[in-house]
Amino acid sequence: MTELENHLHHYFSIGQHDCQKLAALFQEEKLAKGEFFLKVQQQSNRLSFIAHGLLRLFVALPDKEVTQWIASSGNFVTDLSGFLFRNPSRWNIQALTDVTLYTISHDQYLTLGDLIPKWNEFEKLFIGKCFVTLENRMFNQISLSAEERYQLLFEHHRELFHQVPLQYLASMMGMTPETLSRIRGKKTS
């Protein structure tokens, strides 16, 4: 199995034969640091698996930028509402590092039901995983203290603290950069 097939197999619980058919629809794509994968109000026409690198999902508001998420290797990235429901994108998605992606176009995505007989089941699982991830993030945002949110992110994504500007991480956790600095100072002393 290729790296992409291996990830598809584990993510979707798809058999090897279907993994090969699915992986064949993905094309390798590279983004240079600073390049945009997608901008607000554009049509989201691709779903990508991140092989290597980091992408920031964010929106620029009149008085600040809000980072929704930092997507890293081993994850999928798109504006899901735009990709599935054809709404204009709500998010900018920009490379924080050089990025290698495996990308499927929206048109090719629509053919998966014909190509892979059990695709509807796999797609439900995929959308379900996305929904659970968002539910967990929302629950953590409203139920955990800033320090607990920091600890959770640090435990599960420690590498981000060495690769991503801290103001982006602070925004993603719903706190100011000053609060994040104060929490980090308490943790290291």
| Closest to 35 in 3D by CA, of 107, 92, 86, 87 | 92
**Amino acid sitting at position 136:** N
d(CA 128, CA 136): 12
| 10 alpha carbon, distance to own chain's centre | 17
pLDDT for 156-180, tens place per residue? Answer: 999 999 999 999 999 999 999 999 9
Q: What is the pLDDT of residues 65-107, one digit of tens each?
A: 999 999 999 999 999 999 999 999 999 999 999 999 999 999 9
Q: What DSSP state is assigned to residue 97?
A: S
Do 53 and 160 touch, CB atoms closer than 8 A?
A: no
Please state the pTM of the whole predicted model.
0.93
178, two tokens: 């000053």
Identity (one letter) of the amino acid at 93?
Answer: I
